Amino acid sequence: MIQVHNLVKRYGDLIALDHFDLTIHKGEIFGLLGPNGSGKTTAINCMLSLLKYSKGEVKLFGQPMGPNRYALKKRIGVVMQNVAVFNELTVIENINYFCGLYVPDKAKRKALVEEAIDFTGLGDYRKFLPKKLSGGLLRRLNIACGIAHKPELIFLDEPTVAVDPQSRNHILEGIRKLNQDGATVVYTSHYMEEVEQLCSRIMIMDKGKAVATGTKEELKAMIRTGEKLTVELHALPESILEEIRGIEGLVQVDYADNTLTMRYAAGGHHLSTVLDILRRHDISFGRVFSEPPTLNDVFLEITGTELKD
């Protein structure tokens, strides 16, 4: 569906995309994950031929993409990071306008517009002007305008930024449904939970480079750190902390703010060993949390910085 080869994009001296390669297959929900400024949006804009690039090749549907490739554009839907709707047109007029750029037939378009309204849950707001909509509803309208023409390939660039949880869930559900209906989705976000929850394959980007690609399981398997264990306790003498640090297979042990945090090596499980030590020394403890490794851990280990930063 998408082949990007050796893409280089420079802004003066800054390299926004550094020999970037990407392959996305039909039917995938592909996530581009990375902190702000990692090159996700630049990659999408280059793929869509909105931006010039210094070097490389972009193929969509097996054909080279260009600004005048209208046959390809007709099969693509784009939901930009910034809301792009006309403030003077109502919800239904906006969707009808953008759908009309792809579907000239009025009757066919009417049905598609209604479908997009139902899909995004904007039925009660069809006569509303955008300024009357909440942030979440506005994002939904932004999506409706991008997908009303039923594209085969959909680019969603950070569609859930500044959205309330209810609208976020609605949007994520909608994306899954689009995918089930046959659309291939390229989804960018810096919210790792969303990407983890939604995407069948994920690319982690940093400083214009693809640092890792795979399913979430494959990505987590790439790193040497495994589960993270957190224990709440009021006091922990240094000698006991040293004893815990001596457990084989623990790669990190910290105690701060009445919380003991430990990270195992990949595949390790040492919960009972740690709790045994605490009991033996009559150290009372509160809640105990065990978390599997996250994509942030993957990003942290590969790049040395937190994804959240």
Partner 1 sequence: MFRNIYWKRILRTLRDKATLFWTWIFPIIMATLFYVVFANLDVMGQLHEIPLGVIDTESYQQDISLHSALESVSDENGDTLFTVSLFGNTDEADIALENGDIDGYVLYDLMGDDPTLVVSDDGLNQTLAKRFLDGYLQIKNSVSIQATERLSSLLEEETYTKEISLSNNPPTEKVNYYYALLAMMCLYGGFQGLITVTYLQSNLSPLGARQAMAPVGRMRMVAYDLLGGLTMHFLCLLIAVAYIIFVLGTDFGSKLWLVLLTCFVGSVLGVAFGAMVSLTSKLKEAAKVALLITVTMVCCFLSGLMVGGVNYTVAEKAPVVAWLNPAARITDAFYCLYYYDTYERFFLNIGIILIMALAMLTVTALFVRRQRYDSI
We find the least distance from the C-beta atom of residue 70 to partner 1, in angstroms, to be: 4
What residues are paired with 260 via a beta bridge?
A: 231, 255
Does the footprint of partner 1 cover residue 73 (CB under 8 A)?
Answer: yes
Binding residue count for partner 1, defined by CB under 8 A: 34
Does the footprint of partner 1 cover residue 132 (CB under 8 A)?
Answer: no
Using alpha carbons only, what angle is made at residue 37 by residues 32 and 38, rounded to the nearest 5 degrees?
A: 40
Letters for 143-162 (x = contact with partner 1 by CB under 8 A, - = none) are --xx----------------
Does the footprint of partner 1 cover residue 107 (CB under 8 A)?
Answer: no
Q: Which is nearer to partner 1, 146 or 226 (CB)?
A: 146
DSSP code at position 131: G
| Beta pairing, strands 209-214 & 259-265 | unpaired
Q: Which is nearer to partner 1, 80 or 231 (CB)?
A: 80
Does the footprint of partner 1 cover residue 120 (CB under 8 A)?
Answer: no
Q: Which is nearer to partner 1, 157 or 196 (CB)?
A: 157
| Rounded CA separation 12/136 (Å) | 36
Of 84, 111, 162, 251, the one binding partner 1 (CB under 8 A) is: 84
- Cα dist from 31 to 184, 288, 296, whole Å: 11, 32, 14
Does the footprint of partner 1 cover residue 48 (CB under 8 A)?
Answer: yes
Q: At 204, is the secondary structure helix, strand, or coil?
A: strand
Does the footprint of partner 1 cover residue 93 (CB under 8 A)?
Answer: yes
| Rounded CA separation 88/107 (Å) | 24
Taking contact as CB under 8 A, which single stretch among the options 95-103, 170-178, 286-294, 301-309 is the one that binds partner 1?
A: 95-103
| Rounded CA separation 29/48 (Å) | 17
Q: Which is nearer to partner 1, 101 or 162 (CB)?
A: 101
Q: Which residues contact 252 (CB under 8 A, 6 or more apart)?
A: 225, 261, 262, 263
Q: Which is nearer to partner 1, 98 or 299 (CB)?
A: 98
Does the footprint of partner 1 cover residue 71 (CB under 8 A)?
Answer: yes
**H or E stretch covering 45:** helix 40-47
Please give the structure tokens belonging to residue 63. Answer: 């054909």
Q: What is the dihedral of CA 190, 194, 196, 202, to 10 degrees?
A: -50
Does the footprint of partner 1 cover residue 64 (CB under 8 A)?
Answer: no
Using alpha carbons only, what angle is made at residue 144 by residues 143 and 145, rounded to the nearest 5 degrees?
A: 90
Taking contact as CB under 8 A, which single stretch among the options 25-33, 44-52, 184-192, 205-213 is the one that binds partner 1?
A: 44-52
Q: Which is nearer to partner 1, 83 or 219 (CB)?
A: 83
Residue indicated by tokens 């987590």: 220
Of 1, 89, 172, 241, the one binding partner 1 (CB under 8 A) is: 89
Site residues (CB under 8 A) for partner 1? 11, 45, 48-52, 67-68, 70-71, 73-74, 76, 78, 80-86, 88-89, 93, 96-98, 100-102, 104, 145-146
